[in-house]
Amino acid sequence: MEYITLKQISKDKDNFNVKVRVLRMWDAINIANNHDLISLDMILVDKEGSLIHASIRKNLAQSYRPQLNEGSIYTITNFLVEENKGNYRPIHNKFKIFFNSKTSVSKFSGFDLSIPQSQFEFADYGTIASRCYDTTYLTDVIGILDYIGAIDEIKTRSHPTKMRNIQLLLEENKSVQTTLWGNTTQQIDDDFYKTNKGPFIVIVTSTIVKTFRGDYQLSSTFATKLYVNLDIPEVAKIRNRLNSTMDIYIKEILPKGLLKVQDGELALHNKKTIAEIKDLEWNSETKDLLVTCNANIINIYNKYGWYYVACLICKTKVKQVEGVLWCERCKNEPKFAVPSYRIQVQVQDETDSATFTLFDKGAEKIISKTAKELAEMQEETLKLDENILPKEIQKIIGNEYLFQLHLDEYNLKYGKENYTVSKILETEISHEHNGSREVEEYQAIKAYLLRFDTMEENVRKSRKDKYTSSQKIEIGETSVERPEFAAPITTEDGRPGHKRRKKN
């Protein structure tokens, strides 16, 4: 049988014969209408590597579904070709295929290695930025898995849904967070990344681009698929940039056992003053603890500098050994090393003062620039010197924040009073409503942890306070309040601290 290529099809007729592989297949769902099926959709590829989006409308989907499988090759005849208009296009092609009642599908029983087994349209960071809130095209990305969160179940206006956050390091040394929804959350097996050596090169397809607190972020759609360490040239290229024998340290977001996100009251029970934090006692059952603390930054200790040079893969400080950089965790010379924040601040509340250490995520939130960006700015104006404190960092002195602290044996057992900030929950807390401050703090924390509590929204509208605004994530016709992407819990060996005060 004579086949035409996907580039040769047109709107002029409907009796084409094509030989294609089904790369990806998904159900398009109408969330606004009781999750009814809209269509059964596919990405098809031919021997030239050309891609096209094919769709089978609801009334025909069930009759064709048993005949189709991802990865298989088919000959398809007698289909409609229409212009590819509208939003959420998974690939670039001016045409789109629609099955009708006359469409014939026949599975190819042999092998045809000329038709690719996978094909993607990967977007670089610049393309991601250009698509922010532009839903014309969906976005495919590839990167090194850097962070992974637990699967949470949240309530939307229609029904409960699952959510999981991951973060990828892209080729341009830029990181991008991706929020996975629904069944997509289970496409990464926890046992796989916990029991296997990295690196884990992850492909995420068909996402939409949004922003959250100034960062570009991706959100999955019904068309999203995840692939880990796929055998394709793009994955091999990334692997070749890395040491193939190294282990990649995957950091978990809010590890289970430290904080149950669904329990909003826990943050209130764990809200401590500085004096109370210093008096906490260690026991064998509580080796790690998360607490929140409201405090004002009164000084910055810059004796050890405001940044360190970190391995891009594991975030550990790199050292110079015989004139070359060396990463002790990765046991190799890092391919990429970048400035990362380590800012020691003196904080104070009504009970005492202490030293808190800010790392990348917490510092970036209140400074609004990465350490790499500040280092480059400083290098342009004068010789780069970690002991010279940029004015962007100096501006945080005098501001009050709601800190989340990660306490470990370093603090609880050995009594060191230098505490690691794992997250900043609220920025620049207002002093204009001192009379109602405790109520507002309660509402803000609860709304943050429950993700969709509308109380905080009402407080912000009625009082116009300065709490950090929340962002709504849209899932079809549904929107929910979303929390900030959790920062990694990072500690540095040999960090300075102070002995616990002796109790009277």
DSSP string, 328-353: TTTTB--S-EEEEE-EEEEEE-SS-E
| Separation of alpha carbons 410 and 404, rounded Å | 16
Predicted local confidence at residue 287, as pLDDT = 64
Cβ contacts of 256 within 8 Å, gap of 6 or more:
150
Beta bridge partners of 300: 345
Q: 424 CB contacts (<8 Å, ≥6 apart)? A: 362, 365, 366, 401, 402, 403, 404
30 and 141 belong to one structural domain: no
| Residue with token string 């059952």 | 285
Same domain, yes or no: 263 and 350: yes
Q: Under a CB-based contact definition with an 8 Å cutoff, are residues 271 and 413 in contact?
A: no
CB 91 within 8 A of CB 54: no
Q: Are residues 361 and 392 in the same domain?
A: yes
| CA angle at 408 for the pair 403 and 413, rounded to the nearest 5° | 125
Close Cβ partners of 398 (under 8 Å, ≥ 6 residues apart): 296, 297, 298
- Displacement of CA 216 from its chain's centroid (Å): 10
Could you tell me if 220 and 346 lie in one domain? no
Percent of the chain at pLDDT exceeding 70: 75
Is the CB of residue 84 less than 8 Å from the CB of residue 95?
yes
- The answer to whether 326 and 320 are in contact (CB under 8 A) is yes
What domain range includes position 162? 125-252
Q: Name residue 59's amino acid.
A: N
Q: How far apart are CA 282 and CA 280, in angstroms?
A: 7
Contact call for residues 387 and 378 (beta carbons, < 8 A): no
Please give the structure tokens belonging to residue 178: 């991706």
Q: Which residues on adjacent β-strands are paired with residue 29?
A: 37
Mark whether 377 and 279 lie in a shared domain. Answer: yes
pLDDT at 137: 96
Q: What pLDDT sits at residue 493?
A: 36
Same domain, 288 and 186: no
Residue type, position 409, single letter: E
CB-based contact 108:68 (threshold 8 Å): no
* Same domain flag for 138 and 231: yes
What is each CA distance from 446 to 153, 192, 443, 457, in whole angstroms?
Answer: 16, 33, 5, 12
Residue 243 has a pLDDT of 58
Cβ contact 56:40 at 8 Å: yes
CA distance 359 to 490: 7
Q: 357 and 209 share a domain?
A: no
Task: Copy the structure tokens of residue 173.
Answer: 């040394």
How many domains does one find in the chain? 4
The closest of 479, 456, 451 to 468, measured between CA atoms, is 456
The last residue of one of the domains, among 52, 78, 107, is 107
- Residue at 262 is within a domain: yes
* Domain shared by 141 and 169, yes or no: yes
What CA–CA distance (Å, rounded) separates 344 from 28? 49
Separation CA 255–CA 172 (nearest Å): 28
Give the whole-angstrom CA distance, residue 491 versus residue 419.
Answer: 10
What would the two tokens of residue 71 be?
A: 């990865």
pLDDT in tens, 439-449: 444 444 444 44
**Are residues 184 and 95 part of one domain?**
no
pLDDT digits (tens, 9 = 90+) for 243-292: 544 445 565 554 433 333 333 444 455 789 999 899 887 776 666 788 89
Same structural domain for residues 244 and 152?
A: yes
Q: What is the pLDDT of residues 209-228, one digit of tens each?
A: 988 766 789 999 999 999 99
Backbone φ and ψ of 174, nearest 5°: -100, 145
Residue partners of 170: CB distance under 8 A and separation at least 6: 124, 125, 141, 142, 143, 176
Residue ending a domain, choose from 209, 235, 252:
252
266 in any annotated domain = yes
C-alpha–C-alpha distance, residues 194 and 383, integer Å: 42
**What are the residue ranges in the chain where pLDDT is below 70?**
156-158, 213-214, 243-269, 284-287, 313, 335, 380-387, 426-504
Does residue 118 sit within a domain? no
Distance of CA 260 to the CA centre of its chain: 19
Instruction: Identify the CATH number of the domain in which residue 23 sits.
Output: 2.40.50.140
d(CA 355, CA 297): 10
Looking at the structure, do residues 278 and 316 belong to the same domain, yes or no?
Answer: no
Of the residues 75, 107, 139, the one at which a domain ends: 107
Backbone conformation region of residue 182, classed left if phi is above 0, alpha if psi is from -120 to 50, else beta? left
